[in-house]
Structure formats: structure tokens, C-alpha cells
Amino acid sequence: MSDDQTDKKPSKFHHPHFWICLLLTAGEFWVLYFVVTSSIPEANQRIADMMLGTYSTAWLGSVGYWFQTTFGSNNKTDLLAKAEPIKL
């Protein structure tokens, strides 16, 4: 294997969490659209509200991964693992 093949960093679009986040985002807006535009029977209103709240929480956690410290921390860990030890 050549050096340029081993040094290539995979794109963040190949990260599995990216695709999960993308699917959750599409699902979040579909559920939101459905809850807002559909006439939900009064007996099922609480179920719809809980579904929207639960899904929104999962979506926020997934999106938060990219904008909070977890993604940067994972990048830092990868860089530190590849670095040579400090010689004193």
C-alpha cells in the first residue's frame, strides 16, 4: 500500500453517523409536516404529541453530535492516535 493511500482521511460523508443524522432529519420534517397538516382525532392527539417530542429529542441529539464537542473530540482522538510520540 502506498503512502498516499494510507494518509487519506475519509470524508465526513462516509461517517456512518452522517447518514443516520440525514435520515433522522428527513424523518423529523416528515413527522412535523404530518402532525401540522393532518387532522388527528382527539383521542390520538397525545400519542401524536409524544411521537413528535420523542422523535425531536432523538433528532436534536443526532444533530448536536455535529455541532457540539463530540465530533471535534473524535477528530482530536484520531489525530492523536496517528501522531508520533514525543521524544524527551
Supply the pTM of this predicted model: 0.54
* Tens-place pLDDT, residues 25-34: 898 899 889 8
Give me the domain span that covers residue 22.
14-68
pLDDT score recorded for residue 1: 45
* Tens-place pLDDT, residues 3-56: 455 555 556 666 777 888 888 889 889 988 988 898 989 999 899 889 889 988
Distance, CA of 75 to CA of 88 (rounded, Å): 26
pLDDT score recorded for residue 9: 59
Into how many domains does the chain fold? 1
User: Residue 18 contacts by C-beta under 8 Å, 6 or more apart in sequence?
Assistant: 12
Answer whether 20's CB lies under 8 Å from 62's CB. yes
- Domain annotation covers residue 83: no
- Domain annotation covers residue 4: no
Percent of the chain with pLDDT over 70: 82
- Domain annotation covers residue 26: yes
